Amino acid sequence: MMPTPTSERVLSRGLLDVLIRAGLIAVLAIFCFQIFRPFLDLIVWSVILAVTIYPLQVRLRRKLGNKDGRAATLIVVAAIAITALPAYLLGAAMVDSVASAVSMVKKEGLHIPPPAESVASWPLVGQRLYDVWLQAASDLTGVIQAHAPQVREISLAVLGAAAGIGKGLLIFVFALIIGGIFMAYGEAGNRSAVQIAARVFGPERGQRTVSLCTATIRAVAQGVVGIAFIQMLLIGVAFVIKGIPGAGLLAMAVLLLGIAQLPATLITVPVIIYVFASEGASVATVVFAIYVFVAGLADNVLKPLLLGRGVDVPMPVVLIGALGGMVTGGVIGLFIGPVVLAVGYQLFWQWVEDPPPQTEPGNQQQT
């Protein structure tokens, strides 16, 4: 049967209405995203913290007469107090290291020893490195002037990294506060998440999707990022108390190694050797060496305790998330990246392994 002109006009008008509505919704969504974009990292981090700490909220709530607000406030205050002192010590150590280095250069000048002859025999970069090193040993000022743009870029990068660390700590405090608000309304938030997931993935898969995302967030946040952060605090505070040069930078290196699933002994063992070489063997150095070495192996004890069960996220996914998050979001992305990428990885494989139901032959239309 041929369509009539009237039906064609009705169809065209219906299609035009659909396109106009879709365009208006798209414009509204774009404007909403632009308004929300400055707070995206903060909200994502708040949700990660709230989901990760919520089991503690539930246990504490029972002891406080089922007062969600009181339990959430107590957790937030305790978390800020626990992280504020080590963060202050590490930050002060970084400032002191830079100030002492600048003071030493002003008083004694910066002298670079000449390179060994064996440096020139290194493959690929040996001869060029030897020439630059030798020139710096004889005329450091000339080398700095010749490479002034590169020196300026490196200096700006270091200052930007330091500013990023301070910004990350400040946002972390705000994220804890907002996460506490989320935890105070945890049950309502869980119902809303299930409703949204059911709307997106279907009624049958809504609860399962929310449970999968929750388990993945807790597994990665506790078993990878959380352990790396705890290990950084344990080792970093010891470096600060001992007066290790660049203690704050070394602590950040421990954090990066922990998230990348590399052993912290890559940092702790050279520091122990440096302490014995500079101070000799004494009771203080032996105690420091034992403590730092044990703290460098603490992840082997913490992982079985904190790593979530039933969630298998390959370490390359976590590593790529950490590196990509650090490149795109700085210190904040270093924490958010692994969690977000792990959740995306789990949802992708759930979609792959759970194909849509096939239509029975009897329900197919006969042609």
pLDDT at 365: 47
Note down the domain range covering 268.
39-353
What DSSP assignment string belongs to 58-91?
Answer: HHHHHHTTS-HHHHHHHHHHHHHHHHHHHHHHHH
What span, in angstroms and rounded, lies between the C-alpha atoms of 317 and 319? 5
How many CA atoms within 13 Å lie on the side-chain side of 277? 7
Mean pLDDT across the chain, nearest whole number?
Answer: 76
Span 333-349, average pLDDT: 81
Name the domain count of the chain: 1
What span, in angstroms and rounded, lies between the C-alpha atoms of 89 and 227? 19
- Asked if the structure places residue 171 within a domain, the reply is yes
pLDDT at 106: 62
Dihedral angle sign, alpha carbons of residues 225, 230, 231, 237:
positive
- Asked if the structure places residue 58 within a domain, the reply is yes
What DSSP assignment string belongs to 235-250?
Answer: HHHHHHHHT-TTHHHH
pLDDT at 366: 46
- Asked if the structure places residue 363 within a domain, the reply is no
What span, in angstroms and rounded, lies between the C-alpha atoms of 63 and 52? 20
Whether residue 111 has pLDDT greater than 80:
no
DSSP H or E stretch at residue 289: helix 283-296
Higher pLDDT, residue 113 or 102 = 113
- Asked if the structure places residue 272 within a domain, the reply is yes
DSSP H or E stretch at residue 205: none
Per-residue pLDDT tens digits for 39-55: 888 888 888 888 888 88
What the block records as the tokens of 296 is 């460098």
**Using a CB cutoff of 8 Å and minimum separation of 24, what contacts does 153-157 make?**
none
Whether residue 163 has pLDDT greater than 70:
no
347, 209 Cβ separation under 8 angstroms: yes
**Does the predicted model carry a pTM greater than 0.75?**
no
- Asked if the structure places residue 142 within a domain, the reply is yes
pLDDT at 367: 42
What the block records as the tokens of 242 is 């001992």
Type of residue at 133? W
- Asked if the structure places residue 30 within a domain, the reply is no
- Asked if the structure places residue 2 within a domain, the reply is no
Higher pLDDT, residue 90 or 255 = 255
- Asked if the structure places residue 10 within a domain, the reply is no
Q: If you count DSSP H runs as helices and E runs as strands, how many of each does the chain have, helices first?
A: 14, 0
